[in-house]
Structure 1
Amino acid sequence: MAPKSEIEEMLDVQNGQLKKFHEIVLQSIQEEDVLVSNLLNPPVEKVTTGQRISDQVAKFGGSWTFIISFMIILFAWIILNSIIPQPDRFDPFPFILMNLILSCVAALQAPIIMMSQNRQEEKDRTRAENDYMINLKAELEVRSLHQKVDLLLEEQIKTLFEIQAKQMEMLTSLNEKLDTLCSK
């Protein structure tokens, strides 16, 4: 009966190790769920009024709506100043006033768009840093799990060798008993 209790103890130890390993894996999964939750619900970004305006101007200035409406206004300006009689034209043929307005629009729109692009670049940099941190964390988790699996396998191999040694002892004992029975 004594060898059976030793084997049962070994199996209990092995089951305990498997339970610990299972708990470690569950804890890693829960930590990953927290990280994913944080990434899906990022903190609210604080945007100033100027930043909001620059984003809206850049959004509108880079749209087909702006391009088409601006082209319509330019063609209407040119046609209107070409059709109206000479003394009533507010911007005659070289269209100096129109060129001045176009230059002013371009001069104001360019830095506003640049501000919006800089903000977008900051957002992209933050996303890239988050991606890097996620990849790094995943790599560390994989390494950690590999180490845990290696330790678990090492413990299981030790347990199997111990069980095998006990079995050899039992077989040797049985063999000796058989020899003594056969010799009688």
Structure 2
Amino acid sequence: MQRETKLVERNIKALLERKRDAEKNKKWQDKLADTVTRFTGSITFVIIHLVLFSSWIIINLGLTPFKKFDPSFVVLAMFASVEAIFLSTFVLISQNRMAVLADKRADLDLHISLLSEHELTRLIKLVKDIAAKMDVQEAANPELPELEKDVMPEKVLDILEEKEKNVKSK
């Protein structure tokens, strides 16, 4: 149990260090996009806009002693449109970077799965060899010969793509 705890701690530490390094090595553009995206996704942003737009509308409806400066709300519409363009661009920049990170994680997951598959195949063969050497009769398992074979990721991907094509064509 102690060894497992050390392994878990080592893995967590390695992941945190990797995350910290990635954050430290981020380009200024990515930092800016993430900061803007984080702020625009906050309740503070909503409250600021609620106050600004409400004030703008109330003033320009003539409900206050202040002079109207945008009675047709054209400037307000233009301001909101330009802001939407920039905000959507910042969000897309952040999403693109997050997609790259997700792809890296998926590649790592696939690599670990393939390593695990290979190790399990070797273990099955080893256990079968040990059982044969000790003259232990194995239970009839029709899947055993299949499980002893190495999985070729290319073949798995080919089969998966073929099945997806069949599903889409139906």
TM-score range relative to shorter protein? 0.5 to 0.7
Instruction: From the CA coordinates, give the structure whose radius of gyration is larger.
Output: 1
Aligned residues: 125
**RMSD, aligned α-carbons:** 2.7
Deviation at 1:48, TM superposition (A): 0.6
Q: What CA distance in whole angstroms lies between the structure 1 residues aligned with 2:64 and 2:75? A: 16
Unaligned runs of 5+ in 1: 1-28, 159-184
Aligned in 2, Cα 1:39/1:150: closer, same or farther, shift over 3 Å?
farther
Q: Decide which structure has greater helix share.
A: 1
3-state SS in 2 of match to 1:83: coil
Q: Within the alignment, does 1:152 sit opposite 2:130 as a pair?
A: yes
User: 1:86-165 maps to which residues of 2 (within 5 A)?
Assistant: 88-92=67-71, 94-157=72-135
Aligned in 2, Cα 1:39/1:140: closer, same or farther, shift over 3 Å?
farther
> Could you tell me which amino acid in structure 2 is paired with residue 134 of structure 1?
I
Q: What CA distance in whole angstroms lies between the structure 2 residues aligned with 1:85 and 1:71? A: 20
Show the counterpart of 2:156.
none
> Could you tell me which amino acid in structure 1 is paired with residue 30 of structure 2?
Q
Q: What CA distance in whole angstroms lies between the structure 1 residues aligned with 2:106 and 2:84? A: 32
Identical aligned residues as a percent: 27
3-state SS in 1 of match to 2:134: helix
Q: What CA distance in whole angstroms lies between the structure 2 residues aligned with 1:112 and 1:143? A: 47
3-state SS in 2 of match to 1:41: helix
Show the counterpart of 1:60.
39
Determine which structure has greater relative contact order: mean sequence separation of CA pairs < 8 Å that are 6+ residues apart, divided by chain length: 1
With the length of structure 1 as denominator, give the TM-score of the two structures. Answer: 0.59
Q: Within the alignment, does 1:79 sit opposite 2:53 as a pair?
A: no
Q: What CA distance in whole angstroms lies between the structure 2 residues aligned with 1:65 and 1:144? A: 56
Q: What CA distance in whole angstroms lies between the structure 1 residues aligned with 2:12 and 2:129? A: 32
Unaligned runs of 5+ in 2: 137-170
